[in-house]
């Protein structure tokens, strides 16, 4: 249990930022309109909620493509989103979580590949499929919680890489803006029992930031039977890339050939002009969605961000990041909030933040400087960007502004480029390929691989020294740990110790190369 206690202690103090995945540009220039023609891989009348986005997958090193997780009950039928060649497999990597049973569907032109993972039941081999053909059923293989892992790749030479998110304007038949955590997605090509009539109206616009405003959705039933409604969701978007979903449950009846007005409350998290992009309706056990329109606005708050600046322009790997934020209350009333944070992206595109934990109380007309500290120790070398300033009031997240702030990180950084693990003669043997992706000579204390054995209550640790490693230099290492023969085990992480601090090198993503005899990891 040494690793558990040590990891918890480090998290309680300051957690290292895990390296993010940086997508390489495709070798060719595929038609980025194509993914918009694919369908979502489930039936009409179904809706499933996004629980994890691409940035979260990259930050946790759980995907090499553009990946979304969907909450999904085991046994849900899944269908081919497009004509192509389906290759079925099972992820045998001895990691804490893996793909489990999965299928990779390559389009007939070879330009795109769609992965569905954590499926129920084993399948193997390859076969050509047509759009709409049953591929399998959702499950929880390779993970502890049932869900669907849906991932998109684009051709890059003889392999696959992550598509450019900025070029993916449409995805699986929907606007890519519809894909965000908390949004329930459906196939828009399916017939709907009710339709949105006119624009979604904002009854209290403009509103004060942090205060609710009412939205009214007019739903029309053009059928001959009364339609019961149980649930409604409206997706809202702001020009600076924010998105949020607001929902309401009820017991409504829409008479035939008539319309029903449904009101729900929204609290947009930032000032400015927002627009409605989508409405999703739950009716008699079916979920359908459709594009929608409408506008609402939120007034600029009295709390203004006057200036944002990092304490240093360049930090060393492992240093404590600090950022100063100058706040000014332009109103007359005292402003109160429960904390402050700068949110941004790391060089690889994953999330980072610096926070001030504690109440803030600023009288009208006054200014105050607040120092925020990084929520994790910077490990990734490169330029770190700040994107927005956020605060909290009554557990509501509010965006105060989008400042321009950045700083650099320099030093040693190791990445795990390959790993093979096996049980041999009462030992767990791990071969790890380490690459110095940093900007300086790496003088690492030691390399360490650890994981769980038995039923998960015991742990194992394998350690190896590592000599100096120049930037761009790679080396294979062999690590061993004692193990009871035949007992189950799982590899949780491979990392390194630098100046007394443990950094995760990240278990490698599941990558396939065309023509290779096996998947590389």
Sign for the CA dihedral angle at 258, 260, 261, 267 comes to negative
pLDDT of residue 404: 83
Beta 147-156 vs 258-266: how paired, if at all? unpaired
**If you search the block for the tokens 């009539």, which residue do you land on?**
197
Question: Domain-by-domain residue ranges, the chain?
Answer: 2-185, 195-299, 303-410, 414-504
Q: Which CATH architecture has domain 303-410?
A: Sandwich (2.60)
Contact in structure between 334 and 361 (CB atoms under 8 Å): yes
pLDDT of residue 7: 35
Pick the CATH number of 414-504 from 2.40.50, 3.30.70, 2.60.40, 3.80.10: 2.60.40
Nearest CA-CA partner of 187 in 287, 313, 49, 332: 287
Own/partner long-range contacts of 252-255 (Cβ < 8 Å, ≥24 apart): 252/228, 253/226, 253/227, 253/228, 253/229, 254/194, 254/219, 254/220, 254/221, 254/226, 254/227, 254/228, 254/229, 255/221, 255/226
User: Which strands sit side by side in the sheet containing 427-436, from one edge to the other?
Assistant: 414-424, 427-436, 474-482
pLDDT of residue 376: 86
CB atoms inside a 10 Å sphere around CB 400: 22
* Overall pTM > 0.85: yes
Contacts of 278 (CB under 8 A, 6+ apart): 174, 175, 178, 183, 234, 235, 289, 290, 291, 292
pLDDT of residue 424: 86
Angle at 59 between CA 53 and CA 65, to 5 degrees: 60
Q: Which pair of tokens denotes residue 420?
A: 């093979």
pLDDT of residue 1: 36
pLDDT of residue 157: 87
Q: Indicate if 303-410 has the same CATH topology as 2-185.
A: no
Q: Does domain 195-299 have CATH number 2.60.40.10?
A: yes
What is the fold of 2-185? Glucose Permease (Domain IIA) (2.70.70)
CB atoms inside a 10 Å sphere around CB 76: 19
Q: Which pair of tokens denotes residue 233?
A: 């969701």
* Residues in the chain where the model's pLDDT stays below 70: 1-15, 17-29, 456, 511-521
Over residues 469-517, the pLDDT tens digits come to 999 999 999 999 988 877 888 899 999 999 899 999 988 777 554 333 3
pLDDT of residue 14: 52
Around 23, how many Cα atoms within 13 Å sit in the side-chain half-sphere?
26
């Amino acid at each position: 249990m040494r690793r558990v206690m040590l990891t918890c202690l480090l998290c309680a103090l300051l957690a290292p930022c895990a390296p993010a995945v940086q997508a390489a540009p495709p070798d060719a220039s595929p038609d980025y309109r194509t993914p918009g023609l694919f369908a979502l891989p489930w039936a009409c009348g179904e809706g499933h909620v996004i629980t994890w986005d691409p940035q979260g997958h990259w930050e946790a090193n759980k995907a090499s493509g553009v990946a979304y997780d969907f909450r999904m009950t085991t046994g849900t039928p899944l269908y081919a989103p497009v004509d192509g060649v389906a290759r079925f497999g099972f992820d045998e990597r001895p990691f804490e979580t893996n793909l489990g049973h999965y299928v990779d569907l390559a389009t007939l032109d070879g330009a795109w590949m769609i992965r569905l993972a954590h499926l129920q039941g084993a399948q193997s081999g390859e076969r050509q499929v047509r759009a709409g053909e049953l591929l399998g059923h959702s499950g929880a293989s390779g993970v502890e919680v049932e869900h669907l892992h849906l991932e998109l790749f684009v051709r890059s030479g003889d392999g696959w890489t992550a598509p450019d998110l900025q070029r993916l304007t449409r995805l699986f038949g929907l606007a890519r803006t519809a894909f965000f955590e908390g949004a329930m997605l459906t196939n828009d090509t399916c017939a709907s029992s009710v339709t949105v009539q006119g624009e979604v109206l904002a009854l209290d616009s403009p509103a004060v930031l942090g205060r609710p405003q009412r939205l009214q959705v007019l739903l029309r039933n053009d059928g001959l039977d009364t339609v019961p409604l149980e649930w409604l969701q409206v997706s809202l978007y702001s020009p600076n890339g924010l998105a949020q979903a607001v929902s309401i449950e009820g017991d409504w009846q829409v008479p035939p050939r008539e319309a029903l007005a449904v009101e729900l409350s929204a609290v947009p998290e930032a000032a400015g002009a927002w627009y409605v992009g989508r409405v999703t309706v739950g009716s008699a056990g079916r979920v359908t969605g459709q594009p929608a329109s409408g506008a609402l606005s939120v007034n600029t708050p009295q709390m203004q961000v006057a200036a944002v600046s990092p304490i240093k322009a360049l930090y060393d790997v492992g240093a404590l990041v600090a950022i100063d934020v100058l706040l000014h209350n332009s109103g007359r009333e005292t402003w109160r909030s429960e904390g402050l944070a700068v949110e941004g992206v790391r060089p690889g595109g994953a999330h980072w933040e610096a926070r001030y934990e504690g109440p803030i109380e600023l009288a009208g007309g006054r200014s105050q400087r607040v120092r925020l500290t990084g929520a994790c120790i910077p490990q990734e070398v490169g330029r770190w960007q700040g994107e927005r300033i956020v605060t909290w009031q009554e557990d509501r997240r509010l965006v105060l502004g989008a400042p321009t702030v950045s700083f650099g990180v320099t030093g040693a950084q190791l990445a795990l480029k390959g790993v093979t693990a096996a049980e041999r003669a009462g030992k767990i043997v791990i071969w790890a390929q380490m690459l110095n992706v940093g900007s300086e000579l790496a003088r690492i204390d030691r390399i360490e691989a650890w994981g769980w054995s038995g039923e998960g209550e015991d742990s194992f640790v394998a350690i190896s020294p590592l000599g100096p490693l120049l930037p761009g230099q790679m080396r294979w290492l062999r690590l061993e740990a004692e193990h009871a023969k035949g007992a189950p085990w799982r590899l949780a992480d491979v990392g390194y110790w630098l100046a007394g601090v443990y950094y995760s090198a990240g278990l490698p993503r599941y990558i396939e190369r065309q023509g290779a005899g096996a998947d590389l990891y």
